[in-house]
Structures are given as structure tokens and as C-alpha cells.
Amino acid sequence: MKKRKLGKSGLEVSALGLGCMGMSFGYGPPKDKPEMISLLRSAVERGVTFFDTAEVYGPFTNEELVGEALAPFRGQVVIATKFGFDLSPHLDPRGMKGAPGLNSRPEHIKQAVEGSLKRLKVDSIDLLYQHRVDLNVPIEDVAGTVKELIQQGKVKHFGLSEAGAKTIRRAHAVQPVAALQSEYSLWTRTPEKEVIPTIEELGIALVPYSPLGKGFLTGKMNEKTKFDSSDFRSTLPRFTPDALKANQALVDLLGKIARRKKASPAQIALAWLLAQKPWIVPIPGTTKISRLDENSGAVEVELTSDDLREIDGASSMIKVQGARYPEKLEQMTGR
């Protein structure tokens, strides 16, 4: 697996990471724990060194899974986790319909970090993201708290998730931001307007989550696809039958390029992201070894400048239907 540097942070990771959320949260019932431990260890064997989790996934169970699975590989892997939600016992197990409120107060961040350190079985968190910007707490206070935790050796690098350009600048002025995690793919290109130019200027990496459009860009769905009520895609405007049907044009485009390149639509979607900037590290999630291998193969897919022009030209003619999130969750992004 090729390596990439996360901006100017000096943190080197595999060119593709692994998003771990779906193993225990969000996409239907939690998966079998021994199977997921095996999958995580198989990822390490295949050269993946960058793993993404958060305390809200479960809540807590995903960090525990990642901590247990990766315990034998301390020092060889980079684990990123996130704080920023108020996790009460009343949290809806899907974590979406009854989404918890935000809490990035300094004392809460410190408390969250102590919990994450225990669950991940580490002495220091490699990359700690604020999961969503909390408008009730100045970002300078958040960055300052993480700076303290870095000075104490409990955290190594600071990240933000779904933050807007102004917030990124303000945070970076207090404590350098290593990476910004945001949804970015051929069907979610919002970061291109302001965020990508800002982080390029500041030397911050981009870690796209849902780089395969929550599974849609793999070409394995259509308007007849049904989602279990415990699958949060059942609540997303972009996954209604009408939206899935309208957005199929994007999958058809990927399929056309994939046939020419003897690759899969998923590999083209990931290769397109990797071709955008050398400091972009997508984190596709999966619960299957076959998909892990397929995704890893994207690193070897070479898209020429003609391929990229064709993809950009054709995709610019396709208007993506449906919002990414229900309104309450959408309001937590890009601020």
C-alpha cells in the first residue's frame, strides 16, 4: 500500500484508510465482533495503517472494537477518533434519528479523551478530531484544550470534521490542524468551493469520509434497494427511491470508465479522489474482506488527465438529487 503524508503534520499513513463506523453502528445491526477483529487485522496485513473511529459510534463500542483488534500493532498504525457529542444514556442506538446534542466544552473534551484512551488501549491518541463544530464554544477554546492535551502527551495531532473555512483558520492559528475530515466524493463536492483552497494554503490534509457515497457509488444499489430501520440511510433524503433513481447517472458514468480501465466503479470513485491532491486520504468503510481488497486495489488505478477531464465534464452535467442529511444534521456541517 502506498503512503501519503497528512499535510504538514509529518504524520504518514496508508494512501487509503479504513472507516470503522459501520462495523458496529449506523449501517444496520452491529456486525459479529470476532469477524470484525479479523477484518481489522487483515487490513493491517494488506498495508492499511490508518483507522478511523469515534466515541459516538455505538456509542463507545466501535472504539472498544478498534482498540482490541489493533492492540498487537501498536506503533505500526495510526488511530483517529473524535469527540464533540453529548452522549447521554437516552441516545437512540442508531445515533441519528435521536441525534445527541453537541458538547465541546473544555472539561468535556478532557473527559472524552480519557475515555477514548482506555477504550483504544493507547497512551496517546494519534489524531483527535472535533466531530462537529459546537457554536456554543469558541473554536479557539477547543483548539487550546487540544493543545494542552498534546503538551501532556495524551494526543499527538489535532483534526476538525465538517468545519467551514473560517473556523479552520481560527483553530489553526491556536493549534496547527493536521487534517480535516469531511464528506467528499463525486456526489458530494461541497469542499471544493472554499474548504479545499483553504486547507491547501494552510498545509492541512483532507480525509474524505463516505468516499463511496455511503455505498451508492459502488453500483450495488438502485431505487428498489430497501434499508433496514436500523440503517441510518433509511433517514437520508439522498437515499429515497426517487433520489436513488435520479442519481443513477453518476454510477453509470463510473461504470463506463471502470469497464475501460478493467476496474470496478468503487475503484474509479476512490482513484478519482486520490488523483485530486497528494494530501487527500479517503477512508472507505467496509465489513467484508472482498470489499477491503477491492478498495485497496484503487491505489493502483491510474486515471490520466483525459480520464479526469471526462469524469469532471460528464459529472458536472449531473445534478445530484437529495440532501446529504436531514435538516438537523445538515445544520451541524460546514460551520
Which pLDDT tens digit goes with each residue over 223-255? 999 999 999 999 999 999 999 999 999 999 999
Where residue 60 sits, what CATH number does that domain have? 3.20.20.100
Q: Establish if 226 belongs to a structural domain.
A: no
The SS3 assignment for 121 reads coil
Q: Establish if 329 belongs to a structural domain.
A: no
pLDDT given at position 100: 82
Our answer to whether residue 209 is catalytic in this structure is: no
Q: Establish if 256 belongs to a structural domain.
A: no
The SS3 assignment for 229 reads coil
- Asked if residue 91 has pLDDT above 70, the reply is no
Q: Establish if 224 belongs to a structural domain.
A: no
Q: Which domain holds residue 62?
A: 3-214+273-301
pLDDT given at position 96: 45
Pairing between strand 12-14 and 3-5?
antiparallel
Query: What 8-state DSSP symbol labels residue 325?
Result: S
Q: Establish if 244 belongs to a structural domain.
A: no
Q: Establish if 93 belongs to a structural domain.
A: yes
Question: CA-to-CA distance for 195 and 246, rounded, in angstroms?
Answer: 27
Confidence label for 94 from pLDDT (cuts 50, 70 and 90): very low
Which residues are within 8 A (CB) of 206 and not within 5 positions of it... i.e. 6 or more apart?
179, 180, 181, 182, 184, 191, 195, 196, 199, 277, 279, 280, 281
Q: Establish if 238 belongs to a structural domain.
A: no
Cis peptide before 211 (omega within 30 of 0): no
**Total structural domains within the chain:** 1
Closest CA to 52 of 271, 230, 270, 210: 210
Backbone angles phi, psi at 46, to 5 degrees: -90, 5
Question: CA-to-CA distance for 54 and 182, rounded, in angstroms?
Answer: 14
Q: Give the tens place of pLDDT for each residue, 100-128.
A: 899 999 999 999 999 999 999 999 999 99
The SS3 assignment for 60 reads coil
Planar angle of CA 307, 292, 9, nearest 5 degrees:
75
- Asked if residue 99 has pLDDT above 80, the reply is no
Q: Which of 57, 129, 184, 325 is catalytic?
A: 57
Label residue 136 exposed, middle or buried (CB < 10 Å: 0-12, 13-18, 19+): exposed
Q: Give the tens place of pLDDT for each residue, 169-179.
A: 999 999 999 99
Q: Establish if 67 belongs to a structural domain.
A: yes
Confidence label for 297 from pLDDT (cuts 50, 70 and 90): very high
Question: CA-to-CA distance for 258 and 248, rounded, in angstroms?
Answer: 15
Confidence label for 95 from pLDDT (cuts 50, 70 and 90): very low
180 C-beta neighbours (distance < 10 Å), count: 30
For the chain, the C-alpha Rg in angstroms (whole number) is 19
Closest CA to 82 of 124, 114, 129: 129
Average pLDDT over residues 86-113: 77
CB 122 within 8 A of CB 74: yes
